Chains A and B, each alone.
Chain A
Amino acid sequence: MDTQSLSLYQLLITILVLVTALLLVFIGSAIRYLRIRIQYYRQQVAREIELIDQERSRISADLHDELGSGLSAVGLYMRQAAETFEPELMDKAINQLQIQRTKIRQISHDLVPQQLKTHGLLTALRELAEEMQVAGKPAIRLEGNMDGLAIRPPRAIHIYRIVRELVTNAVKHSGASIITIDLVRTPRFFCIEIRDNGRGFDSAAPAGDGNGMGLQNIQARVELLHAVIITVSKPDVGTSYTVRIPYESILPADGN
């Protein structure tokens, strides 16, 4: 074999080896990340089951603690009233029934806000801002509007829960004096920005494992909406979370 042919063979073999090595890198890396993805989905399902169980336990506790004793008292008053014919006991029973009715409304509101069903997301968010404002500082402002955007009700509940969780986190942990919920419509996305002027953090630093139930809950809902959540934070300046939702995933099938 002459020198030129030998060099050619060496070149071809080297190229073949390199291409094969890169192909193996591609396959190995794809399998590794697919496994991570599958594991992530498994954890997500387990988390959702855990969330459902927690919610059931809460509803069960609410019904037992809040309504159980109250209705027993109503029964007692009515039995005594039937025996003694005292109008005062009937009044007490009616009064107790009113209290129980209010509690039922509160439990129902906690499950799905009535305003969301009847008046839509904007009103529900306005009510949320007022509700959390009443609880004390910081000041919560709702800015922007939805310009008549009608969101499918099953999707609106996800958006409401995301905003509620982010605002609750900001109230609890940011130390801010002002929290703003800003609604913005762009040509392709409906964006909700929740920003505060609190202590902030270094969002360029490696993130933690995100094991907080609240954060996982937000991430799960964001993924259901095919949305993206963008975090911008700077120490001592504040934090903003922008949830960018594509219209296709929230508009009714006939558009808006």
Chain B
Amino acid sequence: MSYLALFAISAFSIALPGLAALWRIRQWKHPYFPLAVMLWIGLVNETISYLLIRNGRANTVNSNLYTLLEYLLFLWLFARLAAWAPKNLVVASLSGILIWIIDNLLLHSLASYNPLTRVFSSIVIVALSIDEVNHVLFSHPAGRRNRARLLFCCCFFAFFSYQAFISVFDLFPMGVSAEFYKRLYLIMAIFNFIVNLIYTGLILWTLNRSAYTNC
């Protein structure tokens, strides 16, 4: 199987949790609604990327825009799960937007692959996941909603830790072979596929359909 086919399977596996979210998370008030939006936008982004790459064009512009959107949606999700004060959400969002502007408009071009924002957003998401895992473990009695939060945050932690790790390689190009980078991203693609399967399971079996529940 070619690399492109593998990457395509991994990229479009986001459709599985996207469909699950369509089934389970319909109400705007649902605590995981930002995750559902993220999955749907992610699917659109992957489709655009696939079409661009197939036509021999770069997918950097839509990827850079998606990185910012994903970061903001994650902030919205954590703000909902942990009941943040609006001020914290605004500060975190503005700092992300600022980094994105510096990286994509001032230091580099929107049409180039810009890892700084990716490293920043991944590290913030990992830090928020760690905080949320501690919150659930130390503050809450066990419950279905808390179990879902714990498992989702473990997935976020694992996936974005690896994303931050490989983005650091892009920050400092060392002149290693293209094959090395391909393998790094192949691991990422496999990881992405597994995480999407886990998201699907979690959405289907640990979330309630109704927003009107505390479990």
Contacts and interface: CB of A to CB of B under 8 A. Distances in A.
Contact of B212 (A34, A207, A232): A232
A33 B138 CA distance: 6
Given A8-B174, A18-B168, A25-B131, A228 B139 contact: no
Given A33-B139, A204-B31, A230-B143, A26 B134 contact: yes
- Indicate the member of B131, B143, B165, B175 with the most A CB atoms within 10 Å: B131
B141 A223 contact: yes
Contacts of A33: 134-135, 137-139
A206 B83 contact: yes
A30 interface: yes
A46 interface: no
Nearest to A26: B130
A202 interface: yes
B103 to A, nearest CB: 15
Interface in B154-195: 161, 164-165, 168-169, 171-175
Contacts of B143: 228, 230
A22 B172 contact: no
A7 B213 contact: no
A249 to B, nearest CB: 13
A233 to B, nearest CB: 6
A7 B171 CA distance: 9
- The interface residues of chain A, by DSSP majority, are classed as helix
Interface in A1-41: 3-4, 7-8, 10-11, 14-15, 18, 21-22, 25-26, 29-30, 32-34, 36-37, 40
B215 A230 contact: yes
Interface in A98-139: none
B126 A22 contact: yes
Interface in A208-244: 222-223, 228, 230-234
B174 A4 contact: yes
B142 interface: yes
Contacts of B31: 204
A203 interface: yes
Contacts of B161: 22
22 contacts: A3-B175, A7-B172, A11-B171, A11-B172, A15-B165, A15-B168, A18-B123, A25-B127, A29-B130, A33-B134, A33-B138, A37-B138, A203-B213, A204-B212, A207-B214, A228-B215, A230-B214, A231-B215, A232-B212, A232-B215, A234-B210, A234-B212
Interface of A: 3-4, 7-8, 10-11, 14-15, 18, 21-22, 25-26, 29-30, 32-34, 36-37, 40, 202-204, 206-207, 222-223, 228, 230-234
Given A29-B134, A30-B134, A204-B214, 16 more contacts: A7-B173, A10-B172, A15-B165, A15-B168, A18-B168, A21-B127, A22-B123, A25-B127, A29-B135, A33-B139, A204-B29, A204-B213, A207-B214, A228-B141, A232-B212, A234-B210
